[in-house]
Structure 1
Amino acid sequence: MSKSIHKPGFVLGDALDIPTFKVLKQDGTLYKGAQEPEFDKEMALKLYDDLVFIRVLDERMVGAQRQGRIPFYLASLGEEAASVGSAGALKPQDMIFAQYREQGALRHRGFTVDQFMDQCFSNDRDLGKGRQMPIHYGSKALNYNTISSPLGTQIPQAAGYAYGQKLDGLDACTICYFGEGAASEGDFHAGLNMAAVLKCPTIFLCRNNGYAISTPSAEQFSGDGVASRGIGYGIATLRVDGNDLLAVYAATAAARAYALEHNAPVLIEAMSYRLGAHSTSDDPTGYRSKDEEAQWAKKDPILRYKHWLTQKDWWSDEQEKTLYAEHRANILAAMKAAEKRPVPTIDHLITDVYDEPTPHLRQQLKQLKAHMRKYPEQYPKTSGRLDA
């Protein structure tokens, strides 16, 4: 119960004074009093490999979209540490509900370069069977829930999934990623309140990258970021430097331990910056300056982590050149192979909706095939796949 007062006294929006957790400086040295997470050299290099892979993948796929080889792409340039660092602190049994900049978390889980390419090109090996636009990944085997385009839908879903984990007595939690723009959706408030009231072991990780497409944070909310909302819902909350992989890793490890010990949610606000465009359909020069981007480019999370590895004698310039060259070669080869594969059979349009396709769906599919046979010139990529 709160204390009583006898004259009106307002609690102002900045009264909480929420701090930001940091471990690494940009030059790779530790802040005074900071401690490194407890992971070994093998894990450290695995995390760096994930960072570099995603950086190269994003560069290559943005180029592929510009060449007309895929219709759309959405990169995570400048935000890689938030997804890779947090994924590194999770266990394989933990469920991931992503938004659409968490390629790094999926890569860390074991998604292969071929699987990335198969999804982006919607070919016959795509786990989503060609029914989604690029970057909407999903993998049941890796406990990575399929991405949805609408903002915020995954937030209450993650709370519900974590509630099920608790009821089943599992040694597992759920992490839910979203941007600060999604935190303005109603699903954000419903999901956080549900998790708080039902005490669901959910880690809500908000990537506050400064922009909801073209809308800067200052025009989205006047409160103290997103972290203050977690406190308002009675949720354990932490703000972290999202470009500091060591800090993100440590914050997520602590959040996981708390969520499982208390059967309760945690909110992490990872402060970062979207260095690239929102997507390949966006031009950021219309709403922010080159000087602003240049200032944030100096805080590159991959370069910061690389400095730390180098100072520990775990990395060298020669290893750097080899790693980038290998990833570029492998990604290019996988892309060329994926775009040559056929599209999925049209029959997949009605699979996975019900346990068995219903009569009305079968009838609709039959009508669709008849239409496509009547106008084959309009469906060149599907010719020969109608009866597969």
Structure 2
Amino acid sequence: MVLVRALDERMMTLQRQGRIGFYGAHTGQEAVPVAAAEALSPEDWIFPALREGPIMLHRGFDLFTYVSQIFGNAADLAKGRNMPSHMAARAVRQVSWSSVIGPQITQAAGAAYAAKIRAEGTLAVAFMGDGATSSADFHTGLNFASVWQAPALFICQNNQWSISVPTNRQTGSKTIAQKAVAYGLPGYQVDGNDALAVYAAVAALARRARRGEGPAFLECLTYRIGAHSSSDDPRVYRDEREVEVWKARDPILRLERFLLDAKVLRQAQVERLAEEAAATVADAVRRAEAEPPPPRETLFDDVYAARPWHLEEQARELFAVARKGG
């Protein structure tokens, strides 16, 4: 969680300096992805939304490669083709997500059903924001998973705002969790700023799904402290006093206080963790900025298993122009 906060601070600064194009911060919501990652098996498939990149880091994904995706450089696994903050890696079972709201929900339902057919013993876990629960994919995904009793978890980070739309303007439901009941799923609500509570809830629902008792839905009540993304200015649509209330519920500070009170951590260790996280991020950024862009030859890769004649022809034409300095 501390590393994610340090990463957010650094990336938002880089974006404002024009050194990266876009970033979606996790500030105030770190507890949900980190605690969920701890509760799940590394074999479970993750179908994320914007703020679940920390799950990859928790699973051991290299920070330099992670940051390289934001820069879109030659070390980026997506070869610079995907929008920044759209991380994915097969090695840690995190699927690429779409900026379109909701499709990861149906994808997770299908993946969970496939895992059931194959008796793999793994889960498919879809993350979403509160706005996605008003999408058609939410209906389709939960209904399909329920009918086929697929081993899926649906986890909603209800951060109170669907970009600039407050929760009460995009749903008439009293809670997000209760929506699950109509589909025959148990729906639970948890304090999303309490990392230990999120861990306990996700672990319990994961055990339930592995026992063959079907999918479940978890609403994590949290708050987006900063902007929706580097392209957003929340000052124009929400009251700063509301933000201050939630800053006092910061999930990192809450966990720190708990561990300090329990004498698991000392203040000197807390400070050292923050310093080490900042240094780790700075090193990853330094290395990522030094990487060149992806070679132009990769433009034609990964579309077909065997490149067809028309792409070969286009590639030859492009490289001929490039050699002439065009």
TM-score, length-normalised on structure 2? Answer: 0.96
**Residue 10 of structure 2: aligned partner:** 60
**Residue 233 of structure 1: aligned partner:** 183
Structure 2 Cα separation of the partners of residues 375 and 283 of structure 1: 41
- The 4+ residue runs of structure 1 with deviation greater than 6 A are none
CA offset digits 1:98-131 (Å, max 9, x no partner): 1110122121111222122111111111111111
**Residue 64 of structure 2: aligned partner:** 114
User: Normalized per residue, which structure has more helix?
Assistant: 2
**Residue 195 of structure 1: aligned partner:** 145
Equivalent pairs: percent with the same residue? 42
**Residue 271 of structure 2: aligned partner:** 321
| One-letter amino acid of the structure 2 residue matched with residue 175 of structure 1 | V
Structure 2 Cα separation of the partners of residues 365 and 267 of structure 1: 47
Q: CA deviation at 1:263?
A: 4.8
CA offset digits 1:224-264 (Å, max 9, x no partner): 23212111100121111111111110110111111121251
- Say if 2:198 and 2:220, in contact at 8 Å, map to a contact too: yes
**Residue 243 of structure 2: aligned partner:** 293
Aligned partner of residue 181 in structure 1, secondary structure? helix
* Larger of the two Rg values belongs to structure: 1
**Residue 37 of structure 2: aligned partner:** 87
**Residue 215 of structure 1: aligned partner:** 165
Structure 2 Cα separation of the partners of residues 361 and 185 of structure 1: 37
**Residue 20 of structure 2: aligned partner:** 70
- Say if 1:54 and 1:103, in contact at 8 Å, map to a contact too: no
Please point out which of 102, 123, 128 is paired with 2:78.
Answer: 128
Instruction: Give the number of equivalent residue pairs.
Output: 326
Corresponding position: 1:312 with 2:262:
yes
**Residue 148 of structure 1: aligned partner:** 98
Corresponding position: 1:242 with 2:192:
yes
- Say if 2:40 and 2:202, in contact at 8 Å, map to a contact too: yes
Please point out which of 282, 293, 315 is paired with 2:232.
Answer: 282
**Residue 331 of structure 1: aligned partner:** 281
Structure 2 Cα separation of the partners of residues 121 and 279 of structure 1: 16
Gaps of 5+ in 1: 1-50, 377-388
**Residue 346 of structure 1: aligned partner:** 296
| One-letter amino acid of the structure 2 residue matched with residue 128 of structure 1 | A
Gaps of 5+ in 2: none
| One-letter amino acid of the structure 2 residue matched with residue 98 of structure 1 | P
| One-letter amino acid of the structure 2 residue matched with residue 186 of structure 1 | A
Aligned partner of residue 249 in structure 1, secondary structure? helix
Structure 2 Cα separation of the partners of residues 199 and 281 of structure 1: 39
Any residues of structure 2 matched to 1:155-194 within 5 Å, and which?
155-194=105-144
Instruction: Report the RMSD for the aligned CA atoms in angstroms.
Output: 1.4
**Residue 206 of structure 1: aligned partner:** 156
- Say if 2:256 and 2:270, in contact at 8 Å, map to a contact too: no
Please point out which of 262, 269, 288 is paired with 2:212.
Answer: 262
Corresponding position: 1:253 with 2:210:
no
CA offset digits 1:322-352 (Å, max 9, x no partner): 1111111121121121111111122322322
Aligned partner of residue 268 in structure 1, secondary structure? strand
Deviates more, 1:279-288 or 1:345-354: 345-354
Corresponding position: 1:139 with 2:93:
no
Aligned partner of residue 172 in structure 2, secondary structure? coil
CA offset digits 1:251-300 (Å, max 9, x no partner): 10111111121251111011111000000110000011111100010110
Structure 2 Cα separation of the partners of residues 263 and 120 of structure 1: 39
Structure 2 Cα separation of the partners of residues 146 and 78 of structure 1: 23
The alpha-carbon distance between structure 1 residues 240 and 369, as it changes in their structure 2 partners (threshold 3 A), is same
Aligned partner of residue 206 in structure 1, secondary structure? strand
